[in-house]
Amino acid sequence: MKSNWPTKKLGEVVETITPQKVPIGTTPYVEIGDIDIETKKINFKEKGSVKGSIFAPTYCVIVSRVRPTRGAVALLGKKLAISSAFTILKSKSVLDLKFLFYYLAYNPKFFEYLGERQKGSNYPSCREKDILNFEIPLPPIKIQKRIVARIEELFEKIDKAKKLRQKALEEAGQIFPAALEEIFKKAVRKYSKQEIEEILELNQSGIWGDKPEELKNSYPVIRSTEITHEGELNLNSVAIRKIVPNKVSKYSLADGDILIVKSSGSANLIGRCSLFKQSKEDKKIYLFSNFIQRLRPNTKIVIPEFLYYFLNFEGKKFVQYLMTTTTGLRNLPIKQYVKLQIPHPSLPEQKKIVVYLDSLREKVDKLKQFQQSQLKELTELKQSILAKAFKG
């Protein structure tokens, strides 16, 4: 902060607001979770105001007192119904409101300050007094406006760059699904077909329920939530459960097993498919839950990766079809699922396809990681610009 800029407590440079109560059910209505933490924009919902809600006046800044370190700060251009968990800041003539907004909304020191003063564990919150005691720099109003103009000019350029990066990321995400479709459409036309159940060694549901705490044998059990939409398997979040010893061998996974989410409280998880592969360093025995179906391919007939890629193409299409024809789908009809017909090229030809898809997937993942890192750097650039701006 420039040494010749004075500092003032917020309470000295904002107006005292007398809260005006809001009739229940008023819309639009803003809750803490409605504020996008990155953009500071409000995602308006249809939900109406609840008891105790208040009106925020035209042109003000609102700051959440509940979970204050989350960073729920927004600039309002019109009168709105808001949660009473917000503090309303309406600037006096010595303080440009946008200058105030940018100084608070993206300032880690502000949220650290509130975090040091918050109390409670389930719903940590600070007092309005704490917010009003926070000190901000107060350059002349002309300089404040110049700083705001420069910030907005640079932010506009960054936002345009982020849109281009986001579009590039989305386009990168379409490359691999398009390749799967092209390859398997050709394969369906070119090769003879077999039902999936004809090429399996095992077709089995997972283990049921937790066991009493007095059992000593604990094992990681893969659940539906460990399988991502992209077909990746997140072994870092697997839950540990106590299992009866004689069931371990029946439900233990082997490399090449394919896991299908067959049942879930969330419809968008059903049909997700992943290939189990364990690193040489990982010595654990993994089991799988009753929400998952294990398909173990007969490797004399089909390469597991070939079947896995096919299910991430045709299997997903089948599940999407079920979603459009079945209301409230919560269980995948496995008997019907394994009747899907898979093209059956020779093992050497399957291997060629798998090698190509593995290579393409690796390249696409690297491209997506690059675009994501660029997006992160652009977001961090905003922080850098603000830090420099408020240092004069």
Same domain, 47 and 122: yes
Predicted local distance difference test score (pLDDT) of residue 140: 94
Same domain, 133 and 196: no
Predicted local distance difference test score (pLDDT) of residue 213: 60
Same domain, 92 and 206: no
Predicted local distance difference test score (pLDDT) of residue 316: 85
Predicted local distance difference test score (pLDDT) of residue 122: 82
Predicted local distance difference test score (pLDDT) of residue 354: 96
84: domain range?
A: 7-137
Predicted local distance difference test score (pLDDT) of residue 210: 61
Predicted local distance difference test score (pLDDT) of residue 269: 86
Predicted local distance difference test score (pLDDT) of residue 265: 73
Same domain, 24 and 108: yes
Same domain, 200 and 301: yes
Same domain, 14 and 96: yes
Predicted local distance difference test score (pLDDT) of residue 1: 45
Predicted local distance difference test score (pLDDT) of residue 297: 96
Predicted local distance difference test score (pLDDT) of residue 298: 95
Q: Phi/psi at 196 (nearest 5 deg)?
A: -60, -40
Q: How many domains does the chain have?
A: 2
The series of mean pLDDT values per 10 residues for the chain, 392 residues long, is 78 91 93 91 91 94 95 95 95 95 92 94 91 94 94 92 93 92 92 94 85 73 89 86 85 94 82 91 90 95 95 86 74 90 94 96 94 91 82 62
Q: Which of 43, 83, 77, 45 is nearest to 63 (CA)?
A: 83
Same domain, 117 and 201: no
Among the candidates 112, 137, 162, a domain finishes at 137
Same domain, 126 and 232: no
Same domain, 133 and 250: no
CATH number, domain with residue 293: 3.90.220.20
Same domain, 91 and 219: no
46: left (phi over 0), alpha (psi -120 to 50) or beta: alpha
Distance of CA 147 to the CA centre of its chain: 33
Residue 142 lies in a domain: no
| CA–CA distance, 40 with 250 (Å, rounded to integer) | 51
Predicted local distance difference test score (pLDDT) of residue 392: 56
**To 10 degrees, the CA torsion angle through 253, 259, 264, 267?**
170
Among the candidates 137, 166, 182, a domain finishes at 137
Same domain, 130 and 269: no
Predicted local distance difference test score (pLDDT) of residue 331: 84
Residue 171 lies in a domain: no
What's the residue count for the chain?
Answer: 392
| CA–CA distance, 263 with 148 (Å, rounded to integer) | 52
Predicted local distance difference test score (pLDDT) of residue 211: 61
Same domain, 111 and 219: no
Residue 214 lies in a domain: yes
